[in-house]
Amino acid sequence: MGGLGILSYQECAPHAYAAASDSASEVLAPILPGVEAVRDSKSQHDRCQEIFAERHAALLNSLPPIEQALVSEAASPVGRMWLGIIPYSPALKLSNACVSIALQIRTLTSGVGESCRTCRRRTDVLHFECCGTGRGTLTYRHNGVQDAIAAAFRALPNAQVQISPRMYGSFNRFHDIRLIGSARTGIANVDLDVTVVSLGSTSARYSYEHLVDPLPDTAAPADIARHFADLHLDSMAQAKRDNIPLATANATAALPFRPIVFSVGGLMERGTEAAFKEWKKAMKPWVYSKMMCDIAVSLLKSRASAFSL
Ligand SMILES: [Zn+2]
């Protein structure tokens, strides 16, 4: 027995016995002479956490960087949100195929075998969303996040939301979302640019292979895996900032600019995570919750549509 992260009875039994023994001693000590209460007794749950942590570390250490990043995505709040979403509106419904594909990806199962049928290259678990077959979903996944954020902004009092506003000082460059008039709610005027990137892309691989700021060897494997993904997402956000024309960056009328960067699996860049924390304080709970559900489902649908069996 055991598997899917569930401990086998052989692993659990000694901890269950020790926890039961501690608990019995605690009850019997006041009434039976010779029985001593155990100080700092640990529950079975606490004892088993150590084994879970060891198993998690061993699993991550056995995976290549891209699969480690995918595990980080799957463990992130947005990446795991779809598992608990109640489809109370049509937009939140997932087809059977979509759920099946999502579970395949979650269990690190590549859909295309040893080599890709399109480009003939050797594949890995995220090849499907970086190869030519997945390119049609780029707009879909971008617009899904953009629409969810814009809808939540429109629910703010006095907010004016513009989609694809022209950049100040530029004739042919556009932001994704402009928010004006909601400063009283706690969200200042801002121009946003939404980007959804794959952690299996060529530039992501470059980030993994040229890790400029490694964590110490003593860091937990889960932290190191997250660090790989963070480096790539941070670099994408910085590239967006660097890509703003000087005329716009120096314009006094220009609003503060904020890149919003997600990985396809739902991991947020650190600046994006901070922005969502601010928005959470200013938005009604159900508005914020709906926005997050919409983002999680649209990202999952876009990933599933790129997946080939
Ligand atoms: Zn390919």
> Residue 134 pLDDT > 70, yes or no?
no
Q: Which of 18-22, 64-68, 94-98, 283-287 has the lowest mean pLDDT?
A: 64-68
Q: State mean pLDDT over 102-118.
A: 78
220 C-alpha vs ligand 1 centroid, how far in Å?
33
130/43 same-domain check: no
135 C-alpha vs ligand 1 centroid, how far in Å?
11
The domain boundary residue, chosen from 62, 84, 112: 62
Instruction: Give the 3-state secondary structure of residue 192.
Output: strand
The domain boundary residue, chosen from 62, 81, 103: 62
135/243 same-domain check: yes
13/28 same-domain check: yes
150/293 same-domain check: yes
Q: How many CB atoms lie within 10 A of CB 237?
A: 21
189/111 same-domain check: yes
pLDDT of res. 251: 76
> Residue 2 pLDDT > 50, yes or no?
no
pLDDT of res. 111: 62
134 C-alpha vs ligand 1 centroid, how far in Å?
9
128 C-alpha vs ligand 1 centroid, how far in Å?
7
Helix axes 221-242, 65-75, angle to 10 degrees: 90
Residue 68 has which token pair? 């480690």
> Residue 255 pLDDT > 50, yes or no?
yes
156, 226, 144: which is closest to 190 by C-alpha? 156
Q: State mean pLDDT over 94-116.
A: 83
Q: Which residues place a Cβ less than 5 A from the ion ligand 1?
A: 116, 118-119, 131
The overall average pLDDT reported for the chain is: 85
> Residue 271 pLDDT > 80, yes or no?
yes
41/113 same-domain check: no
155 C-alpha vs ligand 1 centroid, how far in Å?
41
Q: How many domains does the chain have?
A: 2
pLDDT of res. 293: 95
12/132 same-domain check: no
pLDDT of res. 1: 42
130 C-alpha vs ligand 1 centroid, how far in Å?
8
Residues 6+ apart with CB under 8 A from 112: 123, 127, 128, 308
Q: State mean pLDDT over 207-222.
A: 71
15/80 same-domain check: no
54/77 same-domain check: no
120/171 same-domain check: yes
User: Which residue range forms the structural domain that includes residue 57?
Assistant: 1-62
Instruction: Give the 3-state secondary structure of residue 262.
Output: strand
137 C-alpha vs ligand 1 centroid, how far in Å?
15
40/123 same-domain check: no
91 C-alpha vs ligand 1 centroid, how far in Å?
30
> Residue 163 pLDDT > 60, yes or no?
yes
